[in-house]
C-alpha cells in the first residue's frame, strides 16, 4: 500500500470541540501507527461563520493534547495551501470540468421558489427532491439569470443508481438512488460547498483514509459520486461513533447556554432577579437577554457575557471545548487518554495509557459502531489518577500552564512556591482544587471572608474555645523559630499535649482565622505558605471580629 495519509479538517468557528478533538486523535493515532502522515487542513470558506483567531486557538488546543502534524497551515508542506480560502482556483477548475462533462448544471431558483417546492412536497407527503429541469440550463440561460439578479448556483447531476460504501467501521453501507438528489456544489457567492471542496482537497492532498464522525455518513454518497465524476480515487472511509452526554443527548456547545439559561430563568421565576438585573450582570440589554431566554438565540450572548452571567448565578458552565477542560485544570494526558477510549478499546481491560501506548495498540477494527458516552465522573477519576502518577516537574509545568490560561492568581507564583503548593495539596482532582484549597493564602488579607458555619463550629462552640485557642497560641507563634512546617506542627503537638486537646481543636481554629474557612493545605504547610507576618496579622484580624458576627 502507498503511504497512509490521514487528515483533520477543522472550521475556524470557535474553540475545538472535544468531539472534534477525538476525531483528530483517531486520525493522528492511525497515521502514527502506520508510520504515515497526519495533515491539518482548515475549512474556512464560510466567511460569515469564521472567527478571528479561532484557527490559532484550535491548533494550540491540538498541541496541548500532545498531537503534532506533518503538514498544515502553520508549517506548510508540498500539498498546500492548507486553508480552503487559498484554494479557490482548484475548486473553480473542478466546477468547470463537471459542467463541461455534463455532470453538473447551473440552477437559479430563488429562495422563495425553493420554499414553495418544499411546501408542495410536504403537502403531497413525499420527501423533497430538487426537480431537475429538462432541458438543463445552458450557459446563456445562466448569464441571463445572472443579469436578472437571480442567485446562481451549480448543482451536481446525480446518476440514477445507488451508492455502496465499504466503511472500515460500519461495513458495507448502501444508499438508494432516491436518497440523494441534485445537491448544490457551488454556492451563489461562487465558493464551493463543503461537498465539492472536501472531495477536491482530499484528492489533491493524497488523503488515503478519511476518519470522521458518523454524522457525516449521509454526505459520503455525495462525495463518492463526485469522486467518480472527477476521476478521483475514493479513499477508505471510517465513520466514528458520536459522543453523547450521559443522558443520551448529543454533546453540543449549546449545552453551555442551556445550563446558564435554566439557572437564570429559575432566578427570574423566583423573583430573586429582575430582567434588568440579569441584563446588567451579562453586560447586555433587557431586550437581547429576553430574546436569549425566550427564543433561545445563543448567538445573542457571546461566551464572555455568558461566563459573567453564570458567575453571578453561581452555576458551573459545562466543559465542551478542549480549552474549557484546559482552563478547568485537567491534564492533557488525562483528557487525551479519556477521549481515545470513547468509541475505541485497546483490549485487555487497559485504560490508563500514554499517547505512545495508544499508538502502538490502535487499529480501526477495535472502533465501536455505537455512540460513546462522555462520562465526566470517569474523566475526573482518570485525571486524579494521572495527577497522582506524573513526575513533579511535569505536574509543575502543567500547573503553570493552567494558571496562565485560566487567569488564576496562582500564575504569579515562582517555581519553588508553585511546586510547594502542589505537593502540599496532593490528592487534588484538578488544578482548580489546588486554587480552591490554597488560593486564599496568596490573596490580600482584605479578601479573607469568614464562613459563618466554620466560625460557629470551630471558634464559637464550647463557650468560644476556638477563640481561646487563637489568643493563647498567638504569642507562641510570634516567638516560633524557625518558621517551618515541622516547627509549626511541633508547636501544635506540644500545645495539644499540654492542654489535653485534640489536634483538630487547635488546627481548625487557626485555619479559619487565616483562610476564613475550614479548608486549606496541612496546617504546617498553610502557615509556611502564608509566612510569619501574614499569619500573625490574619489571626489578629480574626480576633478583632469576635462578637461582631464574623
Q: What is the pLDDT of residue 549?
A: 55
Mean pLDDT of the chain: 94
Give tens-digit pLDDT for 79-124: 999 999 999 999 999 999 999 999 999 999 999 999 999 999 999 9
CATH number of this structure's domain 445-543: 1.10.10.350
Mean pLDDT, to the nearest integer, of 191-217? 97
pTM for the whole structure? 0.92
Name the one residue in this structure whose C-alpha cell is 504569642. Answer: 475
pLDDT of residue 46: 85
DSSP code string of 439-492 = GGGGS-GGG----HHHHIIIIIHHHHHHHHHHHHHHHHHHH-SS-SHHHHHHHH
What is the pLDDT confidence band of residue 1, given thresholds at 50, 70 and 90? Answer: low
Strand order through the sheet with 104-107: 104-107, 153-156, 184-186
CB 370 within 8 A of CB 170: no
Question: Residue 293 is placed in which grid cell?
Answer: 431566554
What is the percent of the chain with per-residue pLDDT over 90, rounded to a whole number?
86
Domain 87-240 has CATH 3.40.50.620: yes
The domain 254-319: what is its CATH number? 1.10.260
Q: What is the pLDDT of residues 400-446, one digit of tens each?
A: 999 999 999 999 999 999 999 999 999 999 999 999 999 999 999 99
What is the pLDDT averaged over residues 13-42? 96
CATH 3.40.50.620 residue window(s) in the chain: 87-240
pLDDT digits (tens, 9 = 90+) for 262-311: 999 999 999 999 999 999 999 999 999 999 999 888 877 888 888 889 98
> What pLDDT does residue 115 have?
93
What is the Cα–Cα distance from 200 to 180, expressed in whole angstroms?
Answer: 20
Lowest mean per-residue pLDDT among 170-174, 232-236, 254-258, 391-395: 254-258
pLDDT tens per residue across span 469-480: 999 999 999 999
Note whether 242 and 369 are within 8 A (CB).
Answer: no
pLDDT over 70 percentage in the chain: 99
Q: Where in the chain are all domains bearing CATH 1.10.260?
A: 254-319
Rounded to whole angstroms, the Cα distance separating 472 from 495 reads 10
Q: pLDDT tens across 322-371, in order?
A: 999 999 999 999 999 999 999 999 988 899 999 999 999 999 999 999 98
pLDDT tens, residue by residue, 536-548: 999 999 999 987 6
Q: Which three cell numbers stand for residue 464?
A: 468560644
Q: Are 240 and 23 in contact (CB under 8 A)?
A: yes
Delimit the CATH 1.10.10.350 region(s) of the chain: 445-543
**C-alpha to C-alpha distance for 152 and 158, rounded to whole angstroms:** 19
51 Rama sector, left if φ>0, alpha if ψ -120 to 50, beta otherwise: beta
> What CA–CA distances, in Å, run from 497 to 249, 466, 490, 502, 503?
58, 16, 11, 8, 9
What's residue 169's pLDDT? 96
Annotated catalytic, 250? no
C-alpha cell at 314: 453561581
Q: Which of 253, 373, 378, 457 is catalytic?
A: 253
More confident residue, 14 or 137: 137
With 0-12 / 13-18 / 19 or more C-beta atoms within 10 angstroms meaning exposed / middle / buried, residue 499 is middle
- Across the range 28-45, mean pLDDT stands at 97
| 192 or 311, higher pLDDT | 192
- Give the model's pLDDT for residue 300: 77
Alpha-carbon span 442 to 9, nearest angstrom: 43
Amino acid at each position: 500500500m502507498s503511504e497512509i495519509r490521514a487528515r483533520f479538517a477543522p472550521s475556524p468557528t470557535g474553540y475545538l470541540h472535544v468531539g472534534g478533538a477525538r476525531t483528530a486523535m483517531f486520525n493522528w493515532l492511525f497515521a502514527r501507527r502506520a508510520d504515515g502522515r497526519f495533515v491539518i487542513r482548515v475549512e474556512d470558506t464560510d466567511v460569515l461563520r469564521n472567527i478571528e483567531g479561532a484557527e490559532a486557538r484550535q491548533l494550540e488546543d491540538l498541541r496541548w493534547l500532545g498531537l503534532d502534524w506533518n503538514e498544515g497551515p502553520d508549517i506548510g508542506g508540498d500539498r498546500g495551501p492548507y486553508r480552503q480560502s487559498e484554494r479557490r482556483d482548484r475548486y473553480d477548475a473542478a466546477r468547470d470540468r463537471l459542467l463541461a462533462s455534463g455532470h453538473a448544471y447551473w440552477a437559479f431558483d430563488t429562495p422563495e421558489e425553493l420554499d414553495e417546492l418544499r411546501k408542495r412536497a410536504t403537502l403531497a407527503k413525499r420527501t423533497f427532491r430538487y426537480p431537475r429541469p429538462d432541458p438543463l440550463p445552458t450557459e446563456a440561460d445562466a448569464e441571463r439569470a445572472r443579469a436578472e439578479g437571480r442567485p446562481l448556483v451549480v448543482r451536481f447531476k446525480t446518476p440514477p443508481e445507488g451508492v455502496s460504501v465499504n466503511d472500515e467501521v460500519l461495513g458495507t453501507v448502501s444508499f438508494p438512488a432516491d436518497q440523494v438528489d441534485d445537491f448544490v456544489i457551488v454556492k451563489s457567492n461562487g465558493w464551493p460547498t463543503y461537498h465539492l471542496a472536501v472531495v477536491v482537497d482530499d484528492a489533491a492532498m493524497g488523503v488515503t483514509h478519511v476518519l470522521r464522525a458518523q454524522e457525516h455518513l449521509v454526505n459520503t454518497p455525495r462525495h463518492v459520486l463526485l469522486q467518480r465524476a472527477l476521476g478521483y480515487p475514493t479513499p477508505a472511509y471510517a465513520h466514528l461513533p458520536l459522543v453523547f452526554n450521559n443522558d443520551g443527548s448529543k454533546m453540543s456547545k449549546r449545552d453551555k447556554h442551556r445550563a446558564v439559561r435554566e439557572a437564570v430563568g429559575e432566578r427570574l421565576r423566583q423573583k430573586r432577579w429582575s430582567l434588568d438585573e440579569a441584563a446588567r450582570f451579562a453586560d447586555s440589554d433587557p431586550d437581547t437577554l429576553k430574546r436569549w431566554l425566550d427564543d433561545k438565540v445563543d448567538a445573542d450572548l457571546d461566551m464572555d457575557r455568558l461566563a459573567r452571567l453564570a458567575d453571578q448565578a453561581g452555576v458551573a458552565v459545562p466543559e465542551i471545548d478542549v480549552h474549557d477542560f484546559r482552563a478547568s485544570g485537567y491534564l492533557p494526558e488525562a483528557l487525551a487518554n479519556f477521549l481515545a477510549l470513547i468509541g475505541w478499546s485497546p483490549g485487555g481491560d487497559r485504560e490508563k495509557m500514554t499517547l505512545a501506548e495508544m499508538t502502538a495498540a490502535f487499529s480501526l477494527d477495535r472502533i465501536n459502531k455505537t455512540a460513546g458516552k462522555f462520562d465526566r465522573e470517569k474523566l475526573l477519576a482518570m485525571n486524579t489518577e494521572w495527577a497522582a502518577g506524573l513526575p513533579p516537574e511535569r505536574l509543575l509545568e502543567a500547573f503553570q500552564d493552567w494558571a496562565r490560561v485560566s487567569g488564576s492568581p496562582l500564575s504569579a507564583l515562582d517555581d519553588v512556591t508553585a511546586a510547594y503548593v502542589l505537593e502540599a495539596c496532593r490528592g487534588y482532582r484538578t488544578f482548580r482544587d489546588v486554587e480552591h484549597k490554597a488560593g486564599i493564602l496568596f490573596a490580600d488579607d482584605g479578601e479573607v471572608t469568614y464562613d459563618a458555619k466554620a466560625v460557629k463550629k470551630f471558634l464559637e462552640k464550647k463557650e468560644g474555645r476556638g477563640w481561646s485557642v487563637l489568643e493563647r497560641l498567638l504569642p507562641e507563634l510570634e516567638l516560633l523559630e524557625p518558621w517551618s512546617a515541622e516547627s509549626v506542627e511541633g508547636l501544635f503537638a506540644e500545645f495539644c499535649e499540654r492542654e489535653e486537646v485534640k489536634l483538630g481543636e487547635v488546627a481548625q481554629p487557626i485555619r479559619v482565622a487565616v483562610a476564613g474557612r475550614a479548608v486549606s493545605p496541612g496546617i504546617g504547610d498553610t502557615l509556611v505558605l502564608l509566612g510569619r507576618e501574614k499569619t500573625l496579622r490574619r489571626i489578629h484580624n480574626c480576633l478583632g471580629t469576635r462578637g461582631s458576627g464574623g
